[in-house]
A and B are shown apart, each in its own frame.
Chain A
Amino acid sequence: METEDKIIIKELSFAYRRRPVLDRVAAAIPASMITAIVGPSGQGKSTLLMTLNRLWEEIPGAQASGSIKIRFNRDWIEINSPKVDPPWLRARVGMVFQAPNPLPASIYKNMAFPLKIAGVKNRKEVDERVEKALRQAFLWTEVKDRLTDDARTLSGGQQQRLCIARALILEPEILLLDEPTSSLDAEAGAVIEDLLSELKSDCTLVMVSHYQEQVRRIADRVFRLENGILKPADMP
């Protein structure tokens, strides 16, 4: 089945302290699929993810050029345009990191935090969205009776699912995942893989992974990044 593109990258170059990392990268990432980016370590895979929500701008000494267009609803938006506000973009392009990074707050406050930033004040709505996102992340039944506990008391796998749920609460159209299972054991990793497979019906997933088996199990498209060049690759 032909799918629509969600992200179109053209001539994307990136340098960190004048050292080139990405060299005129081009790619089209399909909507509602899991796209995996693979390649050797230190080649800029995480950097490529950070160009998709402009998180690279928070890194001192980083420079990027080129075009990244994302289709939000039916409109294509050039995200590197100065008219695009990075916080606005990041609320629509969620990101989950290699190591879980819950904030030093309760599970509930971690979940409600993005809504607070987005200006959602209605307590009933916040409660409903917290529950919905935690259910999406297969976490609700495990934490529903301990929402006021410090999020850092959860296991590593639970913390990572909490971070995924926290990213999902703003209902992003794209979710970027930077090696989301690399700090977890096999069992916790398998739960995350099941979760990601479920999520692709609601949003476009772009994932960096080092695990060939994982890519084979859950990815729909694969790109290989090596020496600053991104190329479509066969399933490993």
Chain B
Amino acid sequence: MKPAPAAEKLFFGAALFSASISLFILLFMVVLGLPLFKDGFFLRLFTDPWRPDHGLYGISAMIAGTLGVSFLALVLALPLSLGCAILISIIRPPVFGRLLEKTVQFMTGIPTVVLGFVGVFLLVPFIREQFGHGSGRCLLTAALVLAVLIAPTMILFFCDSFSRIPASWLRAADALGCTPMEKFRHVILPNSLQGLAGGTILAMGRAVGDTMIALMLAGNAVAAPHALLDPARTLTAHIALVVAADFDSLEFKIIFACGLLLYAITLAMTLLIRGLDRGNGGRTW
């Protein structure tokens, strides 16, 4: 057997190193969070409230905050992203389409702290004045800005899924008298569903993992939000807030539980995307 070329070895080493880092992070969180797994303490994290002064370290409010902000952002971003992707890939207005695509590509590179600043100075006062309730830092404000954060990822992913439809299918639809929207509805959309689902899951992962926007705009109250204008604290914001204030207490160790939970959510989403990819063959309408 011929020895692998040097470049192949280098890339293999780089891949192994990257995978090891991911596993090392998991191991690090498990080891440092070990005290949490004793005497059923870990399960109480999901049932107790967060009251460290009373020895209660539940993170259910943060889980609810994370899911609330992320799902709301997804609900807001999904139709917007689908519409933009249809405009760019299907309707293709010559100048505006290209301009929109370049803008979307540019938006993927905007740091989240910049979006957070825009939210703090423009959206927070707007929400406060429009609804006349609370500080303006709430689930809705954070979700709106998170939607702006995740939409470009979704749009580019959706455009990519649409562009993967074989040209022969599109030509067949054109030759049979389909309008662009009929072609989209009957040929492109049914055959892009896995890509659309993949992009949505990826965006959801990005929303769940974002720290800065949630920290700056969600209000950070330790209570499960029940309404759009209620403040919320996400798992990532909770980690950032605890790390900034503490170092070696049980309260501090709770952030490893939050980290493990985020890791599990990210892993579940990655596996879901891989599952979708694996099932992407020979599907018919």
Instruction: Name A58's contact: one of B169, B174, B176, B282 (CB within 8 Å).
Output: B174
A99: B residues at CB distance < 8 A: 168
- Over the window 107-126 of chain B, the binary record of Cβ atoms lying under 8 Å from chain A Cβ atoms (1 yes, 0 no) is 00000000000000000000
- Over the window 52-90 of chain B, the binary record of Cβ atoms lying under 8 Å from chain A Cβ atoms (1 yes, 0 no) is 000000000000000000000000000000000000000
CA distance in complex: A53, B176 (Å): 10
CA distance in complex: A208, B154 (Å): 43
Q: Is there contact, CB below 8 Å, between B285 and A105? A: yes
Q: Is there contact, CB below 8 Å, between A116 and B177? A: no
Question: Which residue of the partner chain A has the closest CB to B94?
Answer: A60
Q: Is there contact, CB below 8 Å, between B177 and A87? A: yes
A20 interface residue (CB < 8 Å to B): no
CA distance in complex: A90, B179 (Å): 10
B191 interface residue (CB < 8 Å to A): yes
Q: Is there contact, CB below 8 Å, between A55 and B284? A: no
Q: Is there contact, CB below 8 Å, between A88 and B171? A: no
Q: Is there contact, CB below 8 Å, between B168 and A117? A: no
> A101-B168, A104-B285 given as contacts; is B187 within 8 A of A167 (CB)?
no
Instruction: Name B168's contact: one of A89, A95, A97, A105 (CB within 8 Å).
Output: A97
Q: Is there contact, CB below 8 Å, between B284 and A167? A: no
B282: A residues at CB distance < 8 A: 150
B1: A residues at CB distance < 8 A: none
A94 interface residue (CB < 8 Å to B): yes
- Over the window 150-193 of chain B, the binary record of Cβ atoms lying under 8 Å from chain A Cβ atoms (1 yes, 0 no) is 00000000000000000011111111111100100011000100
* B-facing residues in A86-120 (Cβ within 8 Å): 87-91, 94-95, 97, 99, 101-106, 109, 113-114, 116-118
A118: B residues at CB distance < 8 A: 177
Q: Is there contact, CB below 8 Å, between B175 and A167? A: yes
A6 interface residue (CB < 8 Å to B): no
Q: Is there contact, CB below 8 Å, between B172 and A170? A: no
Interface of A (DSSP majority class): helix
A55: B residues at CB distance < 8 A: 171, 174-175
Q: Is there contact, CB below 8 Å, between B168 and A90? A: no
A166 interface residue (CB < 8 Å to B): yes
B178: A residues at CB distance < 8 A: 87, 117
Q: Is there contact, CB below 8 Å, between A101 and B169? A: yes
B168: A residues at CB distance < 8 A: 97, 99, 101
B182: A residues at CB distance < 8 A: 87, 117
Q: Is there contact, CB below 8 Å, between B177 and A113? A: no
Q: Is there contact, CB below 8 Å, between A170 and B176? A: yes
Q: How far in angstroms is the closest Cβ of chain A from B149?
A: 31
> A101-B168, A104-B191 given as contacts; is B176 within 8 A of A117 (CB)?
yes
CA distance in complex: A109, B191 (Å): 15
B283 interface residue (CB < 8 Å to A): yes
CA distance in complex: A89, B177 (Å): 7
Q: Is there contact, CB below 8 Å, between A90 and B175? A: yes
CA distance in complex: A170, B177 (Å): 10
B173: A residues at CB distance < 8 A: 103
CA distance in complex: A102, B177 (Å): 15
B177: A residues at CB distance < 8 A: 87-91, 114, 117-118, 170
- Over the window 40-60 of chain A, the binary record of Cβ atoms lying under 8 Å from chain B Cβ atoms (1 yes, 0 no) is 000000000000010100100
Question: Which residue of the partner chain B has the closest CB to A92?
Answer: B177
Q: Is there contact, CB below 8 Å, between B175 and A94? A: yes
- Over the window 202-214 of chain B, the binary record of Cβ atoms lying under 8 Å from chain A Cβ atoms (1 yes, 0 no) is 0000000000000
CA distance in complex: A53, B179 (Å): 14
B284: A residues at CB distance < 8 A: 104-106, 109, 150
Instruction: Name A101's contact: one of B172, B186, B191 (CB within 8 Å).
Output: B172
Which of B171, B174, B187, B191 counts the most chain A CB atoms within 10 A?
A: B174
Q: Other than the known A91-B177, A106-B284, what 6 A-B pairs have Cβ atoms closer than 8 Å?
A: A58-B171, A87-B182, A103-B169, A113-B176, A117-B186, A163-B172
Q: What residues make up the interface of A, taking CB atoms closer than 8 Å to B?
A: 53, 55, 58, 87-91, 94-95, 97, 99, 101-106, 109, 113-114, 116-118, 150, 163, 166-167, 170
Can you list 9 residue pairs at the A/B interface with Cβ under 8 Å?
A90-B176, A91-B176, A97-B175, A101-B169, A103-B173, A113-B186, A117-B177, A118-B177, A167-B176
